[in-house]
Amino acid sequence: MIRDLPVADRKHVRQAALRLIRRDVPGFTATLLLNGLAAAAALVSPWLLGRIIDTIAAGGTIDLLAAIAVGGALLQLILSRYAEKIGTRFSERTQERIRQELLDRVLALPAATVEHIRTGDLIARGTTDVGLVGHTLRDAAPAVLVSSLQALFLVAAVFLVDPLLGACGLLAPAGIAAASRWYLRRARAAYLEEGAARSELAEHLAANAAGARTIEALGLQDRRARAAERVIERSRVAQLNTLFLRGVLWPSVEVSALLPPVLVLLLGGVLLDSGQVTLGAVVSCVLYLRQLQQPIETILIWMEQLQSSGASFARIEGLQTPATQTAVAAAEPRDDHIVATGVHFAYESTDDVVTGVDLTVRPGERLAIVGPSGAGKSTLGKLLAGIDRPRLGMVTVGSVPVADLAPAQLREHVVLVTQEQHLFLGTVRDNLHLADPTADDDHLEKALAAVGADWVTSLDDELGSHSSGTELGPDRVQQLALARVILADPHTVILDEATAMLDPRTARRAERSLAAALEGRTVIAIAHRLHTARDADRVVVMEGGRVVEVGAHDELVAAGGVYEALWSSSHVEAQIGG
pLDDT digit string, tens, across residues 76-104: 788 878 877 887 788 788 878 888 887 77
Residues 6+ apart with CB under 8 A from 39: 146, 149, 150, 152, 153
Strand pairing category for 538-543 and 546-551: antiparallel
Q: State the average pLDDT for the chain.
A: 76
pLDDT at 172: 65
- For residue 114, pLDDT beyond 70: no
* pLDDT score, position 574: 44
User: Which residues are CB-contacts of 506 (< 8 A; sequence separation ≥ 6)?
Assistant: 452, 475, 499
- Count the neighbouring beta carbons within 10 Å of the beta carbon of residue 243: 11
pTM exceeds 0.75 = no
Kindly state the percentage of the chain with pLDDT values over 70. 81
Count other C-beta atoms under 10 Å from residue 495's C-beta.
25
The residue ranking higher by pLDDT, 285 or 394, is 394
Q: What element of type H or E holds 546?
A: strand 546-551
Q: Taking residues 454-481, report their average pLDDT.
A: 71
pLDDT, one tens digit per residue, over 412-432 is 778 777 766 677 777 878 888
pLDDT for res 480:
81
Q: How far apart are CA 214 and CA 197, in angstroms?
A: 25
Mean local confidence (pLDDT), 3-23: 77
What is the amino acid identity at position 336? Answer: D
The per-type count for the chain, helices as H runs and strands as E runs, is 23, 10
Q: What is the reported pLDDT for 578?
A: 44
Residues paired with residue 227 on neighbouring β-strands, in sequence order: none
76, 38 contact by CB (below 8 A): yes
User: To the nearest whole percent, how much of the chain has pLDDT over 90?
Assistant: 0
